[in-house]
């Protein structure tokens, strides 16, 4: 066992040198795995955390980072060389085994002063011997990330949360998740991998770009009339929310062709509103990306639509992100909502692809039906 570990470390050191092109300001190192596990986060049999795959502990994954630009790369070459096409495996705890398979290659992303490491498009394969080939392996394309991520399984919101880099110890937990539409043993589900590793050397936080931030968050709710008990002849637009904010990207690389989410949660973290804009639905116009959807076919309200019995309000609205020299302005007006739970203890989360930011909704006020003026 010790001989195998020494060989693994030697192999890791050799591949660190070969994994990345030399850059004048870049630092190469490793992130040594302390724990890696597979998970089911939604759908299928329900939430399930599989036991850690212990054979992968101690594997030194090659990394490269540049403090000034906030670039961060991780190579899968060591994993692929050690575990091959079968992958690293371990027991599920209820009979069959599970395996995590990684092909060679380097995934490039970002790191910031908040300890957020983001690796978009990180691919791996989840496999299990509980199923017969070819339905025993499921390739996943994930955003391997240490911060909060939002995604969906059909119309169900799913939250994924890693742990930011600890600049004193080097420990970081990266989570990557994706949907499996038709696994062999159950209905569609969200499968995930969590990877906890120790980064060495540890970047200098003071030299890294700032984390993504949201400022000047202001919201106004216009409360509509109670919904009728029977279907109205004219669709009801429910409550309407006007939302404005400024995003300071810092080290985040915001790509508005990615899926976008707007979420409002109460003080306990429960969703009050969850709106999805699928990938590619924001239209570029000058310096802006926008959607104008009065019928609710693009701005998908997964949580928070106003309804009463058989009657539901018509959702829709507008959403615009406008780039300026150093920031991005957000302007939204959404209707068809139920704003009854909104208040100063709520929080707003904006997600653009793998990058997510949350801020308290302290500057929210509601206007009652019939209110006129500002």
Whichever domain contains 127, its CATH number is 2.40.128
Mean pLDDT of the chain: 91
Range of the domain at 127: 2-207
User: Which residues, other chains included, contact 146 with Cβ-Cβ below 8 Å and sequence gap of 6+?
Assistant: 115, 116, 117, 118, 162, 163, 164, 165, 172, 173, 174, 175
pLDDT at 1: 42
199 and 53 in a common domain = yes
| 45 and 183 Cβ atoms separated by less than 8 Å | no
CA dihedral 276, 45, 164, 127 (to 10 degrees): -110
pLDDT at 196: 99
348 and 293 in a common domain = yes
252 and 193 in a common domain = no
23 and 161 in a common domain = yes
SS3 335: strand
250 and 310 in a common domain = yes
307 and 266 in a common domain = yes
Render pLDDT for 186-220 as a digit per residue (tens, 0 to 9): 789 999 999 999 999 999 999 999 999 999 999 99
Q: Span 6-12, mean pLDDT? A: 48
**Helices (H), ranges, 20-105:** 77-83
Q: Please give the Cα distance from 124 to 102 (Å, whole number).
A: 5
pLDDT at 14: 52
Alpha carbon of 331 to those of 73, 264, 289: distances in Å? 33, 15, 11
pLDDT at 183: 76
Sheet holding 288-293, edge to edge: 283-285, 288-293, 316-323, 328-337, 239-248, 213-222, 364-367
Query: To the nearest whole percent, how much of the chain has pLDDT over 70?
Result: 92
228 and 201 in a common domain = no
Render pLDDT for 330-366 as a digit per residue (tens, 0 to 9): 999 999 999 999 998 999 999 999 999 999 999 999 9
Does residue 373 lie within any of the structural domains? no
173 and 245 in a common domain = no
Q: Of the residues 181, 207, 233, which one is the last residue of a structural domain? A: 207
Q: Please give the Cα distance from 139 to 161 (Å, whole number).
A: 21
The pTM of this model reads: 0.89
Q: Please give the Cα distance from 360 to 374 (Å, whole number).
A: 22
Q: How far apart are the first and last CA of the chain?
A: 71
Q: Of the residues 179, 207, 235, which one is the last residue of a structural domain? A: 207
164 and 238 in a common domain = no
Q: What are phi and psi of 308, to 5 degrees?
A: -150, 110
Q: Residue 191 has which token pair? A: 């499968």
12 and 152 in a common domain = yes
Q: Of the residues 207, 230, 260, which one is the last residue of a structural domain? A: 207
Q: Span 323-334, mean pLDDT? A: 97
325-328, Cβ contacts within 8 angstroms, sequence gap of 24 or more: 326/248, 327/246, 327/247, 327/248, 327/249, 328/246, 328/247, 328/249, 328/254
Number of structural domains (the chain) is 2
| 92 and 126 Cβ atoms separated by less than 8 Å | no
pLDDT at 371: 54
Does residue 374 lie within any of the structural domains? no
| 323 and 299 Cβ atoms separated by less than 8 Å | no
Render pLDDT for 249-283 as a digit per residue (tens, 0 to 9): 999 999 999 999 999 999 999 999 999 999 999 99
DSSP code of residue 205: G
């Amino acid at each position: 066992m010790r001989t195998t570990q020494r060989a693994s470390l030697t192999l890791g050191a050799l591949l660190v040198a070969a994994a990345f092109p030399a850059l004048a300001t870049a630092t190469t190192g490793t992130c040594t795995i302390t724990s890696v596990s597979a998970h089911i986060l939604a759908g299928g049999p329900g939430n399930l955390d599989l036991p850690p795959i212990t054979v992968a502990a101690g594997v030194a994954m090659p990394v490269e980072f540049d403090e000034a630009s906030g670039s961060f790369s991780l190579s899968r070459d060591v994993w692929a060389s050690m575990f091959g096409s079968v992958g690293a495996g371990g027991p599920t705890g209820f009979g069959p085994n599970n395996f995590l398979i990684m092909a060679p290659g380097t995934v490039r992303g970002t790191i910031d002063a908040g300890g957020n490491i983001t690796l978009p498009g990180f691919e791996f394969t989840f496999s299990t011997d509980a199923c017969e080939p070819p339905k025993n392996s499921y390739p996943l394309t994930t955003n391997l990330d240490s911060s909060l991520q939002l995604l969906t399984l059909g119309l169900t919101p799913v939250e994924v949360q890693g742990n930011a880099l600890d600049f004193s110890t080097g420990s970081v937990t990266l989570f990557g998740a994706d949907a499996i539409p038709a696994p062999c043993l159950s209905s569609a589900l969200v499968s995930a991998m969590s990877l906890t590793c120790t980064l060495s050397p540890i970047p200098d936080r003071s030299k890294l770009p700032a984390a993504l931030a949201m400022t000047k968050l202001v919201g106004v709710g216009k409360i509509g009339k109670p919904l009728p008990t029977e279907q109205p002849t004219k669709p009801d637009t429910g409550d309407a929310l006007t939302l404005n904010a400024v995003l300071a990207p810092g080290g985040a690389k915001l790509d508005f062709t990615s899926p976008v989410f707007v979420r409002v949660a109460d003080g306990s973290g429960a969703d009050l509103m969850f709106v999805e804009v699928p990938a590619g639905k924001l239209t570029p116009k000058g310096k802006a990306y926008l959607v104008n959807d009065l019928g609710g076919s693009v701005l998908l309200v997964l949580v928070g639509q106003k309804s009463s019995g058989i009657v539901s309000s018509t959702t829709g609205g507008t959403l615009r992100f406008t780039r300026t020299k150093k920031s991005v302005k957000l302007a939204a007006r959404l209707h068809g909502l139920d704003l009854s739970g909104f208040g100063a203890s709520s929080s707003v989360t904006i997600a653009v692809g793998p990058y997510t930011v949350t801020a308290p909704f302290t500057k929210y006020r509601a206007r009652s039906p019939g209110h006129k003026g500002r």
